[in-house]
Amino acid sequence: MLDQDVVDAFNARPRVDLNNIKTMSASQQDRVKVWGSQAENLLSNREFAMFVHQFRFEMIDVLSEIRTHTETDNITRVAITNQLAGVDSFIALLKRAKYMKDRVVTLQEQKLSSKEPGL
C-alpha cells in the first residue's frame, strides 16, 4: 500500500519541459529550482555516486559470470540490463532536473537584467 506522503509527493512533482518554463508562475519556477537543487545535491554527493558505481560494478560482475545461453541465463541477462538501464534513467532524471533549474535561473536573471535601467 502506498503511503500518503508518496502520493502527495507524486502529485506535487514539477511538470516541466522547455516549452513551458517561460509561462510558469514564480511559485512554479521556485518549485523547479528546489527540485533541481535537490537533484544537484544528489549528483554531487560522493557517497551516492560511490553506491551507484558499486551497484553498476556488481551488476557487470553478475553479467560476466553468466557463461551459457540457456533460457534462464538469457532472462537473467535481460533483467540485469533492465536494472542498469533503470539506474541510467534515474541519473538522467537528476541531470534533467538540474538542467531545468539552471534554465529557470537563467531566465529569471535575464528578466531582472532587462528590467534594470541602462547606464
Question: Does residue 117 form part of some domain?
Answer: no
For the entire predicted model, the pTM comes to: 0.82
Angle ∠(52,56,57) on CA atoms, nearest 5: 115
Question: Does residue 77 form part of some domain?
Answer: yes
Structural domain total, the chain: 1
* Per-residue pLDDT tens digits of the chain, which is 119 residues long: 678 888 887 777 777 777 788 888 888 889 999 999 999 999 999 999 999 999 999 999 999 999 999 999 999 999 999 999 999 999 999 999 999 999 999 998 988 888 766 55
Give the pLDDT score at 114. 80
Measured CA to CA, the distance from residue 103 to residue 96 in angstroms comes to: 10
Expressed as residue numbers, the domain containing 66 is 29-108
Give the pLDDT score at 23. 85
Measured CA to CA, the distance from residue 81 to residue 7 in angstroms comes to: 29
Question: Does residue 64 form part of some domain?
Answer: yes
Question: Does residue 9 form part of some domain?
Answer: no
Question: Does residue 47 form part of some domain?
Answer: yes
- Side-chain-facing half-sphere of 117: CA atoms under 13 Å: 1
Question: Does residue 92 form part of some domain?
Answer: yes
